[in-house]
A and B are shown apart, each in its own frame.
Chain A
């Protein structure tokens, strides 16, 4: 019995429960996929699903890591880098999530539904961005002063 289990593990790479779990996962996903087909939306669904698989690793990651490398190249080895990185990252996060409102991409639907314009969102996002950079800059100035006085 033990030897059979060992042979299975060597051939497969994990215990039988592992295969069982994954088979159940693929069965449920395949069933959900048949419902997607039955709903008549499978082409669009598939395109968006594949897009969702790669959007972080092959689109967002290259974008934000390139920006980060560029920022570090410009700032040298300055300790200020994180006071730039954090507000820029947070502002970018807000834009990533709320771009349909901020860039007024959903203006037509939004106006029809809510009865108001999306116009204020760009100003709000810009104001939050300014506040993030200002707060970060202030914190940096306070830290530098703290360091200088503690050195004295």
Chain B
């Protein structure tokens, strides 16, 4: 019966060649895809991801998670390790590392997209795995691609304060990072030799001199990246690399300004914290307004007192202004990547520790805020942070009283601490011996 045999033939062809459409090799026709292009994009991505990963893990240490109340991921188990207490110098360290984490991450978005475009035929490769090894490796790619997308998406949405994800950012971004880094390390270990070989198969300088007329597909490869039936090129390889590189330059140029002071800040046209507030002493980036955290004039008026817990002392703002005041130019650097340096005047935390009967160098402090809602209503600072002479309970900024949105009547400024540890609207300092 010829009809039945024809049916079997079709099923057999499906099994042998894959379902029609993207599973058939003829479907993918771009003449630019190939191991060389994928390797160039992959190695550029790898270089950037190393910076993003290292600065991300450093940011975990910057919160001093061993101090009470500081750890945003209390169930971290083995994944929250860090090797050292966060230092107070150089004062610009967190400004640089966290600025790099966010800006390099943004810069890599076009490279990541191009890399995913360059390997898309592999998603539909038929048969799905030719060996057990290949099957397991492809399963790990689910973690690699998912981890990359998850980390970039949560980070990018978080810096825009677009909290649509149904989980807290901190644990999700930390655990997502470990899943991604595990898969990335294995992917690099398995593929790097092949990537370097592919990179050597063509001369980059020659590729950059080749226009559309001279653009030919790469030689067919066993991985099936090169099209079986390539279409005539509409863009040269150098054109594609310039497209991706231009995208990266644009992402960088429109966001890096939020880590700078002065006129260059205005170049951050598409970054959440590139805004200009005005020219007054308090006209710089606000991270959380007083109104949004339930802090009003009633809490911060003449009846406000700073409580030194344990010592039973209550100080008014006038009392604090009568203490020795010190002035330092120090940056505020936010976990969201933006930063700014301002000139702060206030009382040394070390002097307040002495007033509370404690010896600076051996005591940490837990700082509590008037804020009624939201994260970081309290933060703990290490003995090293308390002892640094530049660590202040600031009362003034740039020569003027702090504005309400910048923490009036008093706020913490600690050199090199993440912004959220510079607690605003301080109501209580609780100095306690630090456990070694």
- The answer on A and B forming one complex is yes
Give A contacts to B, CB under 8 Å: 11-14, 18-19, 21-22, 24-26, 28-29, 31-36, 38-39, 41, 43-45, 47-53, 55-57, 60-61, 72, 81-82, 85-86, 89-90, 93-94, 96-98, 100-102, 105-106, 109-110, 112-116, 121, 124-125, 128
- Rounded to whole angstroms, the CA-CA distance of A60 and B190 in the bound complex is 28
Task: State whether A44 touches B162 (Cβ < 8 A).
Answer: no
Name B162's contact: one of A28, A60, A100 (CB within 8 Å).
Answer: A100
- The reply on B87 being an interface residue by CB < 8 A is no
Q: Give 8 A-B contacts (CB < 8 Å), ordered by A residue.
A: A26-B143, A33-B175, A41-B171, A44-B172, A51-B149, A52-B150, A109-B163, A116-B277
- Rounded to whole angstroms, the CA-CA distance of A53 and B392 in the bound complex is 46
Contacts of B154 in A (CB 8 A): 48
- State the majority secondary structure of interface residues on B: helix
Number of chain B residues close to chain A: CB under 8 A = 78
- The reply on B432 being an interface residue by CB < 8 A is no
- Rounded to whole angstroms, the CA-CA distance of A86 and B130 in the bound complex is 38
Name A110's contact: one of B137, B247, B272 (CB within 8 Å).
Answer: B272
Task: State whether B250 touches A94 (Cβ < 8 A).
Answer: yes
Given contacts A35-B171, A57-B123, contact A110 B289 (CB under 8 A): no
Task: State whether A128 touches B269 (Cβ < 8 A).
Answer: yes
Of the stretches B31-39, B41-49, B106-114, the one at the interface is B106-114
Please encode chain B, from 169 to 193, with 1 for each CB lying within 8 Å of some chain A CB and 0 for all others.
Answer: 0011001101100110110011000
- Rounded to whole angstroms, the CA-CA distance of A24 and B136 in the bound complex is 12
Task: State whether A49 touches B146 (Cβ < 8 A).
Answer: yes
- Rounded to whole angstroms, the CA-CA distance of A45 and B153 in the bound complex is 12
Closest residue of chain A to B269, judged by CB? A124
Name A105's contact: one of B143, B162, B270 (CB within 8 Å).
Answer: B162
Q: A48-B154, A52-B146 are in contact. List 18 more A-B contacts (CB 8 A).
A: A14-B133, A18-B137, A29-B143, A32-B175, A32-B178, A33-B175, A35-B76, A53-B149, A56-B113, A72-B234, A97-B109, A97-B251, A100-B160, A105-B162, A113-B292, A114-B285, A114-B287, A128-B254
Task: State whether A39 touches B175 (Cβ < 8 A).
Answer: yes
Contacts of B260 in A (CB 8 A): none
Please report which residues of chain B, range 96-115, place their CB below 8 angstroms from some CB of chain A when the two chains form the complex. Answer: 106, 109-110, 113
How many whole Å from A104's CB to the nearest CB in chain B? 10
